[in-house]
Chains A and B, each alone.
Chain A
Amino acid sequence: MAARWLHRPAPGREGSAGAAAAPGATMAAALLLRAAAAWAARRAAGGAAGTARLLPPAAPARLPGTLAPVRHSSHGKRMFIIKATSFYDSRFLKLLRFYILLTGLPVAILITYVNIFIGEAELAEIPEGYVPDYWEYYKHPISRWIARYILDPPEKDYEKCMALLDVEAKKAEMRLMTLEARRLMRARGDGPWYHYETPDKNLTDDSFKSTPDN
């Protein structure tokens, strides 16, 4: 009986307060005996070791079921605080930061390097007899790079635009001319359109219609 009370300390103690009197007395007696035994053991060990009593013995006496005496030198008792989950929010923010910085950081580093170590171009007068390339009309080095390696030269774009316009102009002109030709052929009837070929009238044989009594 006394041993069972000793080995399970906390729960249900307040429920059995009435029955705690007799086993409480035995428990106290047992505790006293254990403490005395531990003290005696310590003294014996201290005597056997001799003069070196710097460190305390390896297994100090403890109440059963406890880990260490409470000291309150750190943040107090560890609590399980019940609050709403922040798992989804923090996961979202982590993923957002990751995917933004995945390309954002390299781009930022590249742009910083270009601005510090390469720098912008200076404005100068066009030297005599020198025709600048089409990318040399931009100031920032990244704009120059894009104009040089990615985009087409503006002269090419201009000529392509003019070629398109030329094709469309010729098409419009041809359409107008065909309309005019049709109109004239319909009106005059002397062209290849707006008539059907009929067979030669000399090929028809009217002999069976030549007299009214056939």
Chain B
Amino acid sequence: MPEDTDWEVYKAPPKRTPVGERATSLPNPVEFFQAVFNNVIDRPVTLIREWIERQQNRNKFYYYHQQFRRVPDVSECVEGDYLCFFEAEAQWRRDRMVDREIVAIVRERFAACQHREGPNQFQNCAKEMEQLLQVTKAYQDKYGDLGAHGNARTCLMKQNTAGFILVSGVQTRYCMGQL
């Protein structure tokens, strides 16, 4: 099952609606339904959850994020040294997974900001939008057109050609007189 989102991370700022004056002496039906929900559903569920957590807290154990040592990159491997290629490839794949997660997190932040702000998003979410643009551009530059079977070697080759494309782009624009 996918992980639940952490409610504390994207907490909206507290609302500033003023407390209203009671205009009638009739009771508010919303309070009645809230009381029903709290007592019939919320309290039992909370009690059961707390009981379960007491059982689980009797012997706690932890998990960690694994730290991998850095190994020489593909560009530092001698041709024919297949072990070096293997380790560099593994490292490149791990880095790609990490980069994908980074892009996902930045995208999620922007989506949370949009949802929070609603119609004000274009003004108030400018920072998140800028960050998302930068991160996606960087991802595209590094892993962009490699395709599904991209590996460290094709990425290196792409870096070699990227310079040529940039230069030729400049040339064409100069020829067309737009620089």
Query: Do chains A and B interact in one complex?
Result: yes
A residues with CB within 8 A of B: 116-119, 121-126, 132, 136-139, 144, 158, 161-162, 165-166, 168-169, 173
Instruction: Please give the distance in Å from A174's CB to the nearest CB on chain B.
Output: 13
CB pair A123 B86 closer than 8 Å: no
Interface residues of B in 20-41 (CB under 8 A from A): none
Do A165 and B63 touch (CB < 8 A)? no
**Does A165 lie within 8 Å of B62, measured CB to CB?**
no
A121, A161, A166: the one contacting B63 at CB < 8 Å is A121
B68: min CB distance to chain A, Å: 11
CB distance from B159 to the nearest CB of A (A): 25
Residues of A within 8 A of B66 (CB): 132, 137
Beyond A122-B62, A162-B87, 17 additional pairs, beta carbon < 8 A: A116-B52, A116-B56, A121-B62, A122-B61, A123-B63, A126-B64, A132-B66, A136-B61, A136-B62, A137-B64, A138-B63, A158-B90, A161-B86, A162-B83, A162-B86, A168-B82, A169-B80
Q: Which of B56-73 contact A (CB under 8 A)?
A: 56, 59-67
Contact A139 B63 (CB under 8 A): yes
If the complex has contacts A116-B52, A117-B56, are A165 and B61 also in contact, measured as CB distance less than 8 A? Answer: no
Q: Which residues of B contact A138 (CB under 8 A)?
A: 63
B55 at the interface (CB under 8 A from A): yes
Q: Is the CB of A166 within 8 A of B56?
A: no
Contact A124 B83 (CB under 8 A): no
A-B pairs, 8 with minimum CB distance: A119-B56, A121-B63, A124-B62, A169-B82, A126-B64, A137-B66, A165-B82, A132-B64
Q: Which A residues are in CB contact (< 8 Å) with B60?
A: 122
22 A-B contacts (beta carbon < 8 Å): A116-B52, A116-B55, A116-B56, A117-B55, A117-B56, A119-B52, A119-B53, A119-B56, A122-B60, A122-B62, A123-B65, A126-B65, A126-B67, A136-B62, A138-B63, A144-B63, A158-B90, A162-B87, A165-B82, A166-B82, A168-B82, A169-B80
The closest CB in chain A to the CB of B59 belongs to A118
Residues of chain B lying within 8 A (CB to CB) of residue A168: 82
What are the residues of chain B within 8 A of A126 when measuring CB–CB?
A: 64-65, 67
* Whole-angstrom distance between the Cβ of B72 and the nearest chain A Cβ: 14
| Closest beta carbon of chain B to A170's beta carbon, Å | 10
